[in-house]
Structure 1
Amino acid sequence: MKRLSIFLYGIGSYAVFFATFLYAIGFVGNLPMLPRTIDGAPQMPFGNALVIDVLLLAVFAIQHSVMARPAFKAQWTRIIPEAAERSTYVLFSSLALIALFYFWQPLGGVIWEIENRSGRLLLNAGFGFGWALVLYSTFLINHFDLFGLRQVWLQLLGKPYTSLPFKTPGAYKLVRHPLYLGWFFAFWCTPHMSATHLLFALVTSVYILVAILFEEHDLLKAHPQYHGYRQRVPMLLPRFKKPAAAETEEAA
């Protein structure tokens, strides 16, 4: 019964995540059918709205980073079943995003407005590409492990959890963090950049760059081969010319 409960908890946490992910696309993309999106008419003074938005982004960043650290996980799994740790992280991240969606305050103002049809089409395509790259990248590194489903499924079967081996499939051969690259496309590609959207894009971009530093620190500890991978493959911007070291190795 306990195994089944943990499994259902994992399924429920994933369902909340996926619904939140879909809403996030509409939230950032300002889909008109949604009750709240990133833009809209300001409802309070600029300073008050700015403080609320920054605090909401900070809450998500702190939760997302702290709960992902190995030291926190070691303490956290003394309270909750180890198999449910990832699902709980996913659930809390989703709840932090839901709070952000609900309490977000538009600031108003226009930074840029692209009227050219081709320009709008290009930016909207970049927006769609970004979200697709995010989802695609999760499947490259095992979508079901990343969001806790593999963990709860294995414990339901009574099988021990085994960590995934280090691998660099698909887009991971071009950049070390294609998932984060997808976020950059999703947050910055818009034909209508408001002050609100700019704040969101700036803060999340800074957070992503800081998160990469922490994540790579953990990866270097967990996977000795990551050091060589980091030397060979760029962080976010692909280079299609092979590094001199790689060319020398192939020549030898």
Structure 2
Amino acid sequence: MFARLLILLYAIVSYAVFTISFLYMLGFVGNYVVPKSIDQSIDVGGPVNLSEAIVVNLTLMSLFAIQHSVMARPAFKRWLVKILPLACQRSTYVLLSSLILLLLFWQWRPISTPIWQTSGVAAWLLTGIHWLGWLIAFASTHMIDHFDLFGLRQAFVAFRGTEIPGQSFRTPLLYKIVRHPLMLGFLLAFWATPEMTAGHLLFAIANTAYILDDRFH
């Protein structure tokens, strides 16, 4: 019973860390509220070295991509189940992903060179598309099984001492129109901005490349 309670608490903590990282990401990408964002740094030191900024930012995004890709592989899952209960696997994936995201937000080097700037109706339109993207991303997780996706369902089932039931393949709502609405939402949120900087563009291109490579391979 104690072990099952630990699994449940672990899943809740993992979900809490995910929630923090997701909420911070809204501010990070959109330059809202948070102290350090994709274009704004709390560092008041000297000017950012461009080559250093590119290397650091690409390394951070590569770390996230590698973690996602490796932990999604069946061979890794078979190895992981030898050291962690099956009910912990998804929570572990979510926790590590969230921690790497927080590391990225912390260590990101803004590159403020402007690529495009808009105002008036165009700026409002791009801002609207940006928030539509986040709405699609969030809503798409609830169109399938939000709590299964982030490891809570598995932990609650294990806490009750029952087997994790299988799930049939479904294509609800947006999934009938778009194969991966979650990724579509991310792409809209990353690209739709009234003010695009070189750092933001690097972030958008790198994440788009990863999403397309992951979806089509």
- TM-score normalised over the length of structure 1: 0.82
1:43 is displaced (CA, Å) by 4.3
The percentage of counterpart residues that share the same residue type is 48
Aligned to 1:147: 150
Equivalent in 190, 193, 204 of residue 190 of structure 1: 193
1:206 is displaced (CA, Å) by 0.2
Equivalent in 190, 210, 215 of residue 207 of structure 1: 210
Deviations 1:201-238 (A, max 9, x none): 00000000011124xxxxxxxxxxxxxxxxxxxxxxxx
Equivalent residue runs for 1:4-153 within 5 Å: 4-31=5-32, 33-40=33-40, 43-115=47-119, 117-153=120-156
- TM-score normalised over the length of structure 2: 0.95
Query: What is the CA RMSD across the aligned residues, in angstroms?
Result: 1.1
Q: Distance in 2 between matches of 1:57 and 1:175?
A: 25
Counterpart secondary structure, 2:216: helix
Return 5+ residue gaps in structure 2 as ranges: none
Return 5+ residue gaps in structure 1 as ranges: 215-252
Counterpart secondary structure, 1:154: helix
Q: Which of structure 1's runs of 4+ aligned residues deviate more than 3 A?
A: none
Q: Distance in 1 between matches of 2:29 and 2:58?
A: 16
Q: Distance in 2 between matches of 1:34 and 1:113?
A: 21
Relative contact order: is structure 1 or structure 2 higher (C-alpha 8 Å, sep ≥ 6)?
2
Q: How many residues align?
A: 212
Aligned to 1:157: 160
Q: 1:151 to 1:43 in 2, by over 3 A?
A: farther
Q: Distance in 2 between matches of 1:142 and 1:120?
A: 34
CA contact (8 A) 1:43 1:106 kept: no
1:163 is displaced (CA, Å) by 2.6
1:138 is displaced (CA, Å) by 0.5
- Rg bigger for which structure? 1
